[in-house]
Amino acid sequence: TTENTIKGAKYVNSKPVYFPNIDWRFDNDNRGAGAYQSLAIHDLDGTTTGMGDSYILLYDGENNSVAADSTCKVQKSWNAVLCKGDVGRLNIGGAGGPRGGFGGRGGGAPRAGGAGPGVGTPPGLGGAPGAAAPGAAGAAAGAAAPARGGAFGGAFGGGGTPQPPVVLTRGKEKIQLRGNGATIKSGTEVTVRTERPEFSLSLSEMELGSWVIFELPGFTKADSAKEASSLDALRKAGETSFFKDKDTLWVKLVVDTPPAVPAMPLQQQASVRISR
């Protein structure tokens, strides 16, 4: 969940934490690292980040969160980025309608090579970057992975039949998903590239009225979304909508359901099925 919270923190004699390369024999993330890529800590009062009501998100050079923008603060020694705003979770699921996104075992792309192969790492499975991180950073890159590892393939893991990879791009940030989940920030625009013929897009753990716009080259249909007359009209839309422009589909997902308390990663607050 993106709502792993912390407040009233005080660090006494805190020391850097070293993260060794992942040993696949003890990695419980189903080869996908979907939970690792979408980890988050919500600092409620700023006692950890120095920024009240902020989020600590993964930013290790290989798995940079697309939630990061010019208002965020990069903490290189933490392998993290600190962001304010409404941060939630994006899921890119399998075919079968919006409600099928979390159900099917999604099968993300094979893990990209990290800083180097871990001990006993099978061919093609690189290790995670092994940078040091002080106190709070350790929590960011180590302990904050969502509790629901890869059990739900469509959301976090990489189980099931492998599907073509999904690449998210936002400004200079570009990330290939290892699972099917990523952290996302309300009010942003993200490009989604994949060879999949169809899939579902959904948002969870966000405030009512939050929205994200997706640019989808090569796609033409967005089931259950309202058609907008122009890209400008799409940006102004107050409900989940789409706009088709030549060979590109634009979709605006608008959260129309209040977030569950406590936060539930599997609660889809806005969803749509995309196809070619």
Distance CA 156, CA 73 (A): 26
| Residue 9 domain flag | no
Top-confidence range, 10-24, 122-136, 152-166, 208-222 = 208-222
| Residue 175 domain flag | yes
In angstroms, what CA-CA distances link 59 with 22, 116, 125, 240, 260? 17, 17, 20, 29, 27
Residues 6+ apart with CB under 8 A from 172: none
Question: Domain total for the chain?
Answer: 1
| Residue 4 domain flag | no
- The rounded mean pLDDT for the chain is 77
147 vs 161, more confident: 161
| Residue 264 domain flag | yes
For residue 145, is pLDDT > 70? no
How much of the chain exceeds pLDDT 90, in percent?
50
Cis peptide before 262 (omega within 30 of 0): yes
Q: What are phi and psi of 192, to 5 degrees?
A: -115, 120
Distance CA 119, CA 245 (A): 48
| Residue 91 domain flag | yes
Q: What's the pLDDT tens digit per position in 224-258?
A: 899 999 999 999 999 999 999 989 999 999 999 99
The arrangement of strands across the sheet holding 241-245 comes to 173-176, 166-170, 188-194, 211-217, 248-254, 241-245, 226-227
For residue 6, is pLDDT > 70? yes
For residue 112, is pLDDT > 70? no
Structural domain boundaries, residue 202: 15-275
How much of the chain exceeds pLDDT 70, in percent?
70
Q: What are phi and psi of 261, to 5 degrees?
A: -125, 120
What's the confidence (pLDDT) of residue 187?
96
Whole-prediction pTM: 0.74
Q: State mean pLDDT over 205-233.
A: 96
| Residue 244 domain flag | yes
Distance CA 217, CA 51 (A): 36
The residue assigned the tokens 């890209």 is 231
Band of pLDDT at residue 14, cut at 50, 70 and 90: confident
For residue 198, is pLDDT > 80? yes
Helix residue ranges, H only, the chain: 34-37, 135-138, 231-236
| Residue 6 domain flag | no
Q: State mean pLDDT over 25-50.
A: 80
| Residue 3 domain flag | no
Displacement of CA 274 from its chain's centroid (Å) = 18
